[in-house]
A and B are shown apart, each in its own frame.
Chain A
């Protein structure tokens, strides 16, 4: 059975405000889905609902054949949902290596081992170092995460998700605020992930060139609602996207 991730009528209300409104969508492995929409459209909230940081007001989420709507965030991560956050979300005073090592440790299911020193688990350290090399942070492993440049922090954020070896990769604006020469490292990484046809990849991104070059499919959120879903070329050309991004409808433009 192939991997599936599906949200059905997924809704969350904050008081009177409906941030995500009855979004039904399913994601398939081997397909990179870009989620686009203007600021405040509910993209990150939708991500938070899927990865469990927020719980839905109504609707369901199913993953890998089971209903995960009521599962806590840690358990969803263990089930295979990986998340890289939009606002960099690290362990600031721990070393870069330790940040990743903690993620590797979580992936290895080492939770309550308190009888041996952490250094005895050389395998976890080696794995963390290998992942740091993948995101070109190998030379920074000793310094604390908070002293990294913004771009490097974004890369570390991605490295944490890589270390979890998830079945679903959720990138939330992975290149936001990065300098031009740093962007390719992350894009190459996502490109390489795409080669593995068993993974589901979700990407929230504002930069249309990035979306165009990576996405196999685009869904558009607007005011919390799913307003378009399809091949990149079609979706980008559709009036609803033109309106959402350019603030004009074909009619009012005429």
Chain B
């Protein structure tokens, strides 16, 4: 239990769900063939960590930030710029970490000290403004960031698909640098989520919850809440930047659409809410559900639509046409927020005792 920091899932259904997700992620390279499955799995890992770090802010301190993709982008671009500019080697990766992390931390510190003193809405506005400025900056500084096109780059030798560790004869496909990269992403994300779980269950994390509940009272107890909130903001930013670095390493690319766009910010918000705010575990569930839906709903609907046509049913083939997948995705989200207002994790944890 120490690895979970004394905060186990506290629900059998939730535990089973988590174990299934984690086992599936661990085994993806070996049981789900094809590049798409591996891409989806890597994205789930990265977003689970990214969303968990956002949950630290939204769920535990109650502050709404719109700058989370900025930190994610800083990480992504740090890797992309370093590997593009300095060549595909481990020194470049080290340079990216050494430059990207402090930059993210410094920005988070500045935003926090500047805006977390006052009311929550001010923090939200400032993060929105800074993130917008950063997005414009990233697309304008083409010489550095590649502008709208972003930057593609080569990975260090070890992580390239061409680097084969185990030949085809063992598993029917080669175990190569791509799979190593996947496990690097998986391990790093798991470590970050466990670290966040420790943070929220530490004495410090408990103060964050107190601030969310009643900031005025927390101050009256002697907690200087600005520092706690700023500290939390910095931790969240650091994890987001790391997730961004993994994202860039996985995609071998960084651009506005994959790391800085506001649509990603919205996705993060949705994942936190669907999974369950203030739980950390919700991030894993939310990311898994959301990204699976995003990637497979269209295909699933294609199958359903064809099946309905074959069965000669009226109306259904049109409704289930793959082009309408965004409509169904939207309905899915509305339904999940309606039926699980406290998120999937909140719902599973608060199951009445009779359901045991």
Contacts and interface: CB of A to CB of B under 8 A. Distances in A.
B229 to A, nearest CB: 12
A106 B216 contact: no
Nearest to B216: A89
B125 interface: no
Interface of A: 51, 53, 72-75, 77-78, 83, 85, 89-94, 98, 101-103, 105-107, 110-119, 121, 124, 160, 164
Nearest to A94: B213
Interface stretch (B198-206, B241-249, B303-311): B198-206
B202 A114 contact: yes
Contacts of A89: 214, 216-217, 220
A202 to B, nearest CB: 15
Contacts of B203: 105, 110-111, 113-114, 116, 118, 121, 124
A236 B179 CA distance: 84
Given A91-B213, A119-B6, A74 B206 contact: no
Contacts of A117: 2, 5-7, 198, 201-202
B213 A93 contact: yes
A92 B218 CA distance: 12
Interface string B225-263: 101100100010000000000000000000000000000
Nearest to B225: A74
Interface of B: 2, 5-7, 198-199, 201-207, 209-210, 213-214, 216-225, 227-228, 231, 235
A51 B207 contact: no
A67 B207 CA distance: 28
B140 to A, nearest CB: 38
Given A94-B213, A117-B6, A102 B207 contact: yes
Nearest to A77: B222
Nearest to B5: A117
Which of A74, A90, A124 counts the most chain B CB atoms within 10 A? A74
A160 B6 CA distance: 25
Q: Which of B2, B210, B227, B235 has the most CB of A within 10 A?
A: B210
B209 A113 contact: no
B213 A111 contact: no
A118 B209 contact: no
Given A73-B219, A74-B219, A89-B217, A115 B202 contact: yes
Nearest to A98: B206
Contacts of A111: 203-204, 207, 223-224, 227-228
Contact of B224 (A74, A101, A121): A74
Task: Report which residue of A94, A106, A118 has the largest number of chain B beta carbons within 10 angstroms of its beta carbon.
Answer: A118
A118 B199 CA distance: 10
A164 B223 CA distance: 12
A91 B217 CA distance: 8
A55 to B, nearest CB: 13
Contacts of A85: 217, 220
